Structure 1
């Protein structure tokens, strides 16, 4: 299992890179999870054409919800799964980044690769 994060300056193509690498890995047979951790401008769902009911934002507001509700399998690409953010959600600076870290920790054992689309900077606890 590999967990990787993609971050950089605003507008540098972080989401596009996350989608392209994730799609390539999934098409090679690797069970891949993409996590939209760009809590400020999430658009992974837009890139992948999904309209999610539950998002990372949902979980960060309600830690008691079933985390499995967050997973959306891609309709056209086998082995590709998405935890989207909510592009209509207003920016909340009080969201728990510890909870976001816990979310990734929970799911990482079920996927060959977890790719995280970060905003500029890392709003999630980094591990050495």
Structure 2
């Protein structure tokens, strides 16, 4: 199976027990992207080319610079497609998740089913 992020944004949602926080976007963010805190106090799509970023979670809403977006910072979120339960997932250069770690990637969470990631940042 090939891992993917759910392509239907309406299916990306927090599940019972998830903690959701609201942040100001500093760049264009799409639903399902991993976002990280920047030095200006805003969140941008995570980019593993920078070792100094702090991942915050999975975006539940889309927005541009200055928009408020909701982010799952801990707990279960339905956002994966064809994930392998039990695998640890890491961020990639474009704000998505991958099952393999390379370079500056950091742990985002663990798949608890084929479609649910338990965010553990």
Q: Same fold (TM over 0.5)?
A: no
Higher-helix-fraction structure: 1
TM, length-normalised to structure 1: 0.29
Higher RCO structure, 1 or 2 (CA under 8 Å, sep 6+): 1
